[in-house]
């Protein structure tokens, strides 16, 4: 039988074990770190040129074990057995990960719930300024992360105007309705949005596995009678629902229901929970659409509980205290988180004037990525 002996570290702050070491950090507490993790995340594992991980842990001949580990100043120095490599890890960096935390994320901002009286306070940004100024771009995306809804003003009256605006945030993301969509009355509508009828509160294309994240609605004309825009903050409603109806909240955030969208050339289906939670357990959004909800295929006994909760939530969503109502103006672009903000519209008289919205989507992940790149130093910037 092979007997493995583990060397005693020279530093009193470090104790070597079989699969990891204990180290006392600046908080005065002793923290455990696994050897694979220490070797894999050696600062030399990341290339400043490619900005990727260049070390491949699969190619180690044996499990990483230190021959020696000690604290020198504010750095943990590890000599590894079986390879000619020394890891120098700043203690402050170890503290960041000592309790299983994720890498700090500047885009992980607390959301601020808003209510029906929010219209005057909606963050507004002038489109030409967004194009010209990176600081304004960062402020816009921060407002999107925090409030989920912004209005852009001074939009050019052109198709290109929408494209250049969306591309500030990321790539325009097609859906089965195409890359861009035009909301006006269609002769053969494939969607209630393309009629003059009222449109109940919903999130867009829930039948996609990953519904598009950020919606742009560029108002090119709005001179019809009626057609008020309706928006509500799903975070505000779901947070209140959590307090008012904890069991209903549990059902709507844990049980997924089916959605569909079907026409001649597509048959999209997905399952989503109505209430979406983030990695902290906080409400991050909703998926809801009465016209795209499929036949609920849950156990019929579960439906005894689910349907009443679903209806309690759906009715709550329509309460006046949450509903922001306003008329869009030509030259404005509504930009909102399609997973968080439910939107709809009152009926309008199709013959009373022009109503034309042109829209597209960008994914949420791209928005976060562009925001991080604008505001943070990252790991590789000089
Ligand atoms: Fe919509």
CATH number, domain containing residue 151: 3.60.130.10
Q: Can you name the residues that pair with 69 across neighbouring β-strands?
A: 78
CA 311, 243, 122, 179 torsion-angle sign: negative
Using the mean position of ligand 1's atoms as its centre, give its distance from the Cα of residue 112 in Å: 23
Using the mean position of ligand 1's atoms as its centre, give its distance from the Cα of residue 244 in Å: 28
CB contact at 8 A, 251 and 309: yes
Domain that holds residue 296: 119-375
5 domain residue, yes or no: no
User: Tens digit of pLDDT for each residue in 281-339?
Assistant: 999 999 999 999 999 999 999 999 999 999 999 999 999 999 999 999 999 999 999 99
pLDDT at 359 over 80: yes
320 domain residue, yes or no: yes
282 domain residue, yes or no: yes
> What local confidence, expressed as pLDDT, does residue 198 receive?
76
Using the mean position of ligand 1's atoms as its centre, give its distance from the Cα of residue 316 in Å: 19
Using the mean position of ligand 1's atoms as its centre, give its distance from the Cα of residue 345 in Å: 9
Q: How far is CA 298 from the centre of its chain?
A: 28
Residues 347 and 234 in one domain: yes
Residue that the structure tokens 């494209």 belong to: 163
User: Tens digit of pLDDT for each residue in 29-83?
Assistant: 999 999 999 999 999 999 989 999 999 999 999 999 999 999 999 999 999 999 9
pLDDT at 24 over 50: yes
Residues 69 and 149 in one domain: no
Q: What is the C-alpha end-to-end distance of the chain, expressed in Å?
A: 51
Using the mean position of ligand 1's atoms as its centre, give its distance from the Cα of residue 343 in Å: 6
Which whole-number Å values give the CA distances from 289 to 221, 240, 286, in the listed order? 26, 20, 10
CB contact at 8 A, 312 and 238: no
Using the mean position of ligand 1's atoms as its centre, give its distance from the Cα of residue 353 in Å: 21
Q: Which residues of 130-140 are buried (b: 16+ CB within 10 A; e: fewer)?
A: beeeeebbbbb
Q: What is the 3-state secondary structure (H, E, C) of 10-28?
A: CCCCEEECCCEEEEECCCC
Characterize the bridge pairing of strands 149-153 and 124-126: parallel
Residues 65 and 142 in one domain: no
6 domain residue, yes or no: no
CB contact at 8 A, 315 and 229: no
Question: What percent of the chain is predicted at pLDDT more than 70?
Answer: 95
Residues 235 and 345 in one domain: yes
**Alpha helices for the chain (secondary structure H):** 35-40, 91-97, 127-132, 134-147, 159-169, 234-244, 246-254, 300-317, 364-375
Using the mean position of ligand 1's atoms as its centre, give its distance from the Cα of residue 203 in Å: 6
Please tell me the pTM assigned to this model: 0.90
Determine the Cα angle at 124 with ends 334 and 150, to 5°. Answer: 40
Using the mean position of ligand 1's atoms as its centre, give its distance from the Cα of residue 202 in Å: 6
Residues 129 and 63 in one domain: no
Using the mean position of ligand 1's atoms as its centre, give its distance from the Cα of residue 310 in Å: 20
Which whole-number Å values give the CA distances from 188 to 193, 292, 300, in the listed order? 12, 18, 37
CB contact at 8 A, 122 and 334: no
212 versus 193: the higher-pLDDT residue is 212
137 domain residue, yes or no: yes
CA 139, 145, 151, 155 torsion-angle sign: positive
pLDDT band at 102 (very low <50, low <70, confident <90, very high): confident
CA 109, 344, 319, 296 torsion-angle sign: negative
Using the mean position of ligand 1's atoms as its centre, give its distance from the Cα of residue 33 in Å: 48
Residue that the structure tokens 């519209």 belong to: 345
Using the mean position of ligand 1's atoms as its centre, give its distance from the Cα of residue 334 in Å: 12
Residues 160 and 18 in one domain: no
Q: Which residues contact 156 (CB under 8 A, 6 or more apart)?
A: 127
pLDDT at 166 over 50: yes
How many C-beta neighbours within 10 Å does residue 149 have?
Answer: 22
């Amino acid at each position: 039988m092979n007997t493995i002996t583990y060397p005693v570290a020279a530093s009193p702050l470090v104790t070597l074990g079989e699969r990891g070491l204990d180290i006392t950090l600046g908080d005065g507490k002793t923290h455990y770190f696994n050897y694979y993790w220490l070797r894999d995340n050696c600062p030399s594992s990341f290339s400043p040129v490619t900005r990727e991980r260049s070390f491949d842990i699969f190619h180690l001949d044996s499990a990483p074990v230190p021959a020696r580990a000690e604290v020198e100043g504010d750095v943990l120095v590890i000599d590894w057995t079986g390879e000619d490599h020394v890891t120098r890890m700043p203690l402050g960096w170890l503290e960041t990960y000592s309790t299983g935390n994720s890498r700090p994320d500047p885009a992980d901002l607390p959301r601020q719930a808003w209510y029906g009286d929010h219209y005057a306070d909606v963050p507004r940004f002038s489109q030409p300024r967004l194009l010209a100024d990176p600081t304004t771009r960062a402020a816009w995306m921060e407002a999107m992360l925090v409030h989920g809804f912004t209005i852009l003003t001074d939009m050019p009256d052109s198709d290109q105007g929408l494209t250049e605006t969306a591309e500030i945030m990321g790539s325009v993301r097609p859906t089965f309705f195409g890359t861009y969509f035009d909301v006006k009355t269609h002769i053969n509508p494939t969607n209630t949005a393309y009629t003059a009828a009222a449109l109940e509160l919903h999130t867009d294309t829930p039948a996609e596995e990953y519904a598009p994240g950020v919606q742009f609605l560029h108002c090119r004309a709005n001179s019809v009678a009626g057609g008020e825009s309706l928006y509500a903050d799903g975070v505000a409603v779901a947070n209140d629902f959590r307090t008012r109806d904890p069991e209903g909240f549990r059902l709507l955030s844990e049980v997924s229901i089916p959605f569909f969208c079907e026409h001649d050339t597509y048959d999209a289906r997905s399952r989503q929970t109505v209430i979406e939670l983030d990695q902290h357990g906080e409400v991050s959004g909703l998926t809801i659409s009465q016209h795209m909800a499929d036949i609920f295929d849950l156990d019929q006994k579960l439906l005894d509980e689910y349907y009443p909760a679903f209806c309690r939530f759906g009715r709550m969503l329509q309460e006046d205290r949450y509903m922001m109502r306003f008329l869009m103006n030509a030259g404005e672009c509504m930009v909102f988180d399609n997973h968080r903000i439910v939107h709809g519209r009152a009926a309008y008289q199709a013959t009373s004037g022009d109503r034309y919205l042109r829209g597209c989507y960008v994914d949420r992940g791209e928005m976060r990525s562009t925001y991080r790149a604008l505001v943070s130093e990252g790991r590789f910037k000089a």
